[in-house]
Copies of this chain bind each other. A is one copy, B any other.
Amino acid sequence: MSNGNWGRWGADDERGALNLLTPDVVKAAAGAVSSGRIYSLGVPIQREGVPLMDYRGTPMRLTLQDSTDDGIYDMYGAKKGTGAHEDVLVMASHTTSHMDALVHVYDDYQHYNGVAHDTMHALGGAQQLGIEKVGAFAARAVLLDMVKYFGDDEWVEYGRNITGDDLAGAASAAGVEVRAGDVVLVRTGYLQGWYDAHQKGAEHQFAQAGIGIDAAQWLADRDVVAVGSDNAAVECIPFDGDDFLAVHKVLLVRHGIYMLEFLDLAAAAADGVTEGLLAVCPLKVTGATGSPINPVLIA
């Protein structure tokens, strides 16, 4: 496999495709705001009723202080009836809607830019490519509603491998162009399928529609910054070519293109949004492999 963007922004680069977001590109992205409508793309973080994976444990909001602690601020002269509530959060960095750091996946024991896979330390965290290198960013977003494009009812058939031609077709049909520096949001309807199955008490499908290697390469050729989707892994499952995490290898590892998973794109798609300004604000956790996110799309 070609090494895509390795070395393109320097041998020590840790930000990958985010380098494409020059001030000019960001300024132009702000021009994608047309109506001022806002969409919060995060799936709720809660113990149940949202897609979770067992090995990541139960996300927990635990109360740190509540009204039972009334009086603890007396020592600071607090007036009677004054108080505060707080929580502690316990959750995987890859809980529901999240962003993968470049240190998340490795292929042939290497991450983006040839960083060795053992750069991740248990106590020390990621020595390179951690989520804190991202900062927070804003970019033009293009929303491709594949459910609509394929003429499916509520979601794209589970397991379907979405191709570059499919993305090109959907963009063309929507009258929107994918440009360098964009975030491409690919809606498959998987999330709606998940909620539907959950409501019916049915088994959740592990198989999911998503982009395959061809589409990943198509996106990389267009110099996108990130790819987001409303499914678990952006890519189709079963994996393209039966290669576990095949699309992560093309995007994250070879090109330094970020991946945003389990975004809720339904409301924006229902409103016919095709482009906008997207702000993505991962928590700046030093050494982390990703972060839960709740991006805002300004259409």
Which A residues contact B (CB, under 8 angstroms)?
Answer: 21-30, 33-38, 40-48, 54-69, 72-73, 76-79, 81-94, 97, 103-110, 117-118, 120-126, 132, 135-138, 239, 242-245, 248-249, 277, 279-290, 292-296, 298
Q: In whole angstroms, how far apart are the Cα atoms of A73 and B59 in the complex?
A: 22
Q: In whole angstroms, how far apart are the Cα atoms of A33 and B29 in the complex?
A: 10
Q: Is the CB of A69 within 8 A of B124?
A: yes
Quick one: which of B85, B239, B290 contacts A104, CB cutoff 8 A? B85
Q: Is the CB of B245 within 8 A of A121?
A: no
Q: List 9 A-B contacts (CB under 8 A).
A: A38-B135, A43-B284, A65-B122, A68-B122, A89-B285, A89-B288, A97-B284, A280-B281, A282-B294
Q: How many copies does the complex hold?
A: 4
Shortest distance in angstroms between A298's beta carbon and chain B's nearest beta carbon?
Answer: 5
Contacts of A79 in B (CB 8 A): 107, 243-244
Contacts of A293 in B (CB 8 A): 281, 283
Quick one: which of B64, B135, B287, B288 contacts A122, CB cutoff 8 A? B64
Shortest distance in angstroms between A220's beta carbon and chain B's nearest beta carbon?
Answer: 19
Q: In whole angstroms, how far apart are the Cα atoms of A131 and B76 in the complex?
A: 26
8 cross-chain pairs, A with B, having the tightest CB-CB distances, nearest first: A27-B36, A279-B279, A40-B135, A23-B36, A78-B244, A136-B296, A26-B36, A65-B123
